[in-house]
Amino acid sequence: MKIAILGAGAMGSAIGAVLNKAGHDVTLIDVWKEAVEAVNRDGLKIQSKTGEIAAHKVRAVPSPAQVGGTVDLLLVFVKCYHTPEAVKSALPLLGPNSTVLSLQNGWGNGPRIAEIVGRERVVLGVCYHSATVLGPGHVLHAGQGKTYIGEMDGTPTPRVQKIAEAFKAAGLDIEASTQVLKEIWSKLALNVATLPTSSTIRLTAEKLPNTPEMQSLMRALLLEVVSVAQLQGITLDFTERWSAITGLLGKLAPNTKGSMLQDVENRRRTEIDVMCGAIVEAGQRLGFATPYNNAMLWLVKALEANYPKGD
C-alpha cells in the first residue's frame, strides 16, 4: 500500500516504521523541520524498551504537496487542534479510492475529518501503543498493544478488512471491529481518568492509584464518561473499565509519563479538549451534568494559560 502518515510524532513514527519495514511505501509528513531532516539523513530511529535502536529508511517530507501523487491510505496522527488544517492540506493526496484512518486520541477528530474529506472516506480506530519522542527522528516505542479499526457506522466492509490484514501482516495486533465507537470510548475512559489527573499534580501514571483520594477522583471522572456514553447508546461498563484501568496502571514501569504530562512539562498545548472537553460537550448536549470533567478541563486550561514564558 502507498501510505502517507500525517504527523510524524511518537505514534506516527512508531507505526510508520513497522509498516515501512513490512514493505509498504510509507511517507511521513511533519512540519518539524529538524525531524524531517534527521529522518532523511540518518533514518527513522526507533528505540525499544530494552534500549536497542533500529534505523529505518523512511521518506519524510514537510508538507503533503511533496508526497507525489495520491495514496491508498492517509493515516492521521496529528494533535487534535491541528487536525482541520492538516487534513485540508492533505486533500490533494486523496484519490477516488483513498481511505483516511484516524488513530488519534480522544473523541471528535473523526467527525471533524469527515466534514472535510467526506464521511464515506473515513475509518476510525484506537491504538494501545506506548511511544515517546526522544529527539528529532528518534522515538522510543516502549509498548505494543491492540489496535481496533472500523467504519463510523459499524458496518463491516472490505476496505477495513484490507487495512487490518495489511497491518496484521506487518506484525501489528489489530482487529477490524463493528463496535469501533465502543472501543474509542473505552480508551477515552482510560485517558480521562488518568491523563489530566496525572498532569495537574505532576504524578507519574503508576502512582495514581496509591491514595484513596485520587482513586475517588478517578472513579468520579470515569462514572461521568460511562454515563454520557450510555446515554448515546455506547455500552460501557463501569466495573469493567475501572478494573481495566487499575490493572493497566499496576503493570506500568516506574516513572511512566502519559502524553498529557509530557505536554505540560514541555509547555505544549494538551489534548484536553477531546478528552474531558468531549465529555463536557456530550453532557451539555444530553442534559447530563459532568462537574468532575468540567473541573479537570478548567484546571488543565489554567495550566496551559500560565506556562512560564521563555526559559
Condensed to tens digits (0 to 9), the pLDDT of residues 9-58 reads: 889 999 999 999 999 999 999 999 999 999 999 999 999 888 899 999 99
Torsion angle of C-alpha atoms 106, 110, 111, 117, degrees rounded to 10: 150
Grid cell, residue 155, equals 458496518
Task: Specify the DSSP element, H or E, that contains 174.
Answer: strand 174-176
- How far, in Å, CA of 146 to CA of 128, rounded? 5
What pLDDT does 49 receive?
81
pLDDT of residue 23: 95
User: Are 123 and 151 in contact, with CB atoms under 8 Å apart?
Assistant: yes
Query: In this predicted structure, what is the pLDDT of residue 310?
Result: 65
Helix (H, G, I), strand (E, B) or coil at 125: strand
Structurally, at CATH architecture level, domain 182-305 sits in Orthogonal Bundle (1.10)
Check residue 309 and give its pLDDT.
82
Burial label for 159, CB within 10 Å (0-12, 13-18, 19+), is middle
CATH superfamily, with its number, for domain 2-178: NAD(P)-binding Rossmann-like Domain (3.40.50.720)
Q: What is the pLDDT of residue 224?
A: 98
Mutual angle of helices 212-231 and 291-305, in 10-degree steps: 110
Threshold 0.75, pTM exceeds: yes
Binned average pLDDT, 10 residues per bin, the chain of 311 residues: 94 95 96 96 92 94 95 95 94 96 90 94 92 91 89 93 96 94 94 96 94 97 98 96 93 83 92 96 97 98 90 53
pLDDT in the model for residue 311: 53
- The vertex-111 CA angle with 8 and 170, nearest 5°, equals 40
Q: Where are the chain's structural domains?
A: 2-178, 182-305
**Per-residue 3-state assignment (H helix, E strand, C coil) for 1-49:** CEEEEECCCHHHHHHHHHHHHCCCEEEEECCCHHHHHHHHHHCEEEECC
Confidence at residue 125, expressed as pLDDT on a 0 to 100 scale = 94
